[in-house]
Amino acid sequence: MEIEVTDKAVAWFKKELDLTDGEAVQFFVRYGGHGDFQTGFSLGVTKKDPEDPAVETTKDNIQFYIENKDIWYFDGKNFLVEYNEDREEIVYKHNN
């Protein structure tokens, strides 16, 4: 499993979360909401240093990761984070 974050998505995270070089963004599982990976769950995001990362990637000096406790949500699928300019928000996609 891999995480890919597009350049426009990184720029959005830097602005919205007030990120500086060397900081980290965690994707975590929340109960409820609408998610594309598992019914009844959705993704949350927060600025936080990793404790037990299962998957991680660094782009433009920002680390993006998923903790081991949340890896089940992705069911082994690769995780793509994009910025939707029309909606002015982040969108998550997956592929095998």
pTM for this prediction? 0.88
Contacts of 56 (CB under 8 A, 6+ apart): 3, 50, 63, 64, 65, 66
Provide the residue-wise pLDDT of the chain in tens; the chain has 96 residues. 899 999 999 999 999 999 999 999 999 987 655 556 555 567 889 999 999 999 999 999 999 999 999 998 888 888 899 999 998 889 888 876
CATH at residue 76: 2.60.300.12
Q: Which pair of structure tokens corresponds to residue 5? A: 């974050």
Range of the domain at 36: 3-95
- For residue 70, the cross-strand partners are none
Q: Give the Cα separation of 9 and 82 in Å (integer).
A: 5
- Name the domain count of the chain: 1
